Structures are given as C-alpha cells and as structure tokens.
Amino acid sequence: MAESAIVLQNVSKSFGDVNALESVSFDLNRGEFIALLGPSGCGKSTLIRLIAGLYPSDPGGEIAVFGEPVTRPSRRVGVVFQTYNLLPWLNVTSNLRLAADTRGMSKETIAERLPPMLEMLGLEQFSERYPHELSGGMRQRVALGQALLMRPDVLLLDEPFGSLDALTRDQLNVELLRLCQAHDQSVLLVTHSIDEAVLLADRVLMLSKRPGRIVEDIPINLPRPRDPRETRLLPAYASSVNQLGELMGVV
C-alpha cells in the first residue's frame, strides 16, 4: 500500500458560530497531486492552514502528515498562501534567502539552490528588485520559490497562480508538473480554475458550499507527462472539464 502523505479523518473547523469545514476525510498518497475545488468561502484556505499546522481542527478529527499527527508547522510541508507575504524592504534574492534561512537552511545550500531557482521562476533579471517593482505574478512566483527552495515532501498551494496571465500560468504549471515528476512530490492545490485542476491533478476533490464537505472525488485519467496545449486537445480533457463544470454549478 502506498504510504499516505496526508491523512484527514473527520476534520471539522468552526470559528465561533461560523462552521467553515465539516467532517472532511481524505488521503493524499505519496507522489499524488490533488486539486481542491469549491465555492468561495467554503473553507479551502482553512483546510490548508489546518494541514500546515497553523491552528488546530475541532476535537474529534485527525490530521496526519507522513504518519505524524499535525500539531505545529513542519519542515516537510511547504505552503504557498493565497496572499503572499514578501518583505517590502528586501529584494527578491533577500526574500528568498530569508525564507530559507529562517527555516534553518545552511548558507552553502542556499547559495547553491538560489540561482537555479531564480532561473526556474524566470526572475534572473529581477533578483535585485524589490516587491513594489514586480508584477503581481512575479511576486507570486517569489512566494512559490520560497516554498520550493526547501524541497518539501508535501506542497500545499493556495491558489498560487490565480493572479497570473494565461501564458505565464501555463508555463508555471509545466514547471510544477516537471518538478512533481522529478521529486515524487505530493501536492494539494487549491484552485478556482477547472482547467488548471484537470491539467495538473490525479484527483479532484470538490467541496460543497460552507460548511465545506467533500461532495465528489473525481479521478483525472489523462496520460502523463502532460503538456497544457496537447492535453487540452484530448477528448478525456474535455469530458473532465465538462463533468466538473456541471458539478460546480450544483454544489
């Protein structure tokens, strides 16, 4: 049996009288890519924060990452939040370096990993720029780089490409797919884009309106490696997109 990267059992979360999530259970297998789709406010970001160990779920539920119950943030888990938090007084290189440094990475390893990461993110020309000098998409790429530098075993991505234009988004999707394949990366991606979910994921979990419950668990049976332009031409791509579109209309 494949070792699970993440296991959620009966996880609920309320904030006062607001029930954000209700009885969520699923497994993310090692090396698997799950996309999480659901209406705004249904608890997707809350779910990411719970798995990241930023706050506890309600009593009665369990979350484990590689078999360990989650009680606090772990270095094995990389997170890219919906709103990136770059320090405005540090340039791109320093923002990346600081993120790795505060997580305990050695100066040598940082120096080794920084140049290829800047290249992968397409930010070599902007390494000395400050956040206010970057486009929204570039800032989002720096935030992604901060997580990827750590080479985490599990990546939690909360709409990391939402602000990007379609072409840049496709390019980053290709990079993400390449990375996942090369490193047996386990990924949980929150997205509003059905197209992105189908292009990237092995499975799509659909959440209901708040309180978020899993209402569908849909396998995406498209061949890998996937290339956005080629994959979009496949009949199986169209049928998955249609299926999810119809479900999104009724949740």
Ligand X SMILES: Nc1ncnc2c1ncn2[C@@H]1O[C@H](COP(=O)(O)OP(=O)(O)OP(=O)(O)O)[C@@H](O)[C@H]1O
Binding site for ligand X (CB under 6 A): 15, 18, 20, 38, 40-46, 82, 210
Choose the one of Mg ion, ligand X, none that binds residue 20, judging by a C-beta under 5 to 8 angstroms depending on kind: ligand X
Stretch that binds Mg ion, among 36-44, 83-91, 143-151, 191-199 (CB under 5 A): 36-44
In the bound complex, what is the minimum distance in angstroms from residue 51's beta carbon to ligand X?
12
Figure out which of the listed residues 45, 74, 168, 243 binds Mg ion, where binding follows CB under 5 A: 45
Choose the one of ligand X, Mg ion, none that binds residue 41, judging by a C-beta under 5 to 8 angstroms depending on kind: ligand X
Rule CB under 5 A: which of 50-109 touch Mg ion? 82
In the bound complex, what is the minimum distance in angstroms from residue 139's beta carbon to ligand X?
18
Query: Cβ contacts of residue 121 below 8 Å, gap of 6+?
Result: 141, 142, 144, 145
In the bound complex, what is the minimum distance in angstroms from residue 40's beta carbon to ligand X?
3
| C-alpha R_g of the chain | 18
In the bound complex, what is the minimum distance in angstroms from residue 41's beta carbon to ligand X?
5
Sheet holding 154-158, edge to edge: 77-80, 154-158, 186-190, 33-37, 203-207, 214-219
For 93, the token pair is: 């290189």
- CA distances to 139, 167, 170 from 125, rounded to whole Å, are 14, 19, 20
Given the structure tokens 């490409």, which residue do they identify? 161
222 contacts 198 by C-beta, under 8 angstroms: yes
- Give the interface with Mg ion as residue ranges (CB under 5 A): 44-45, 82
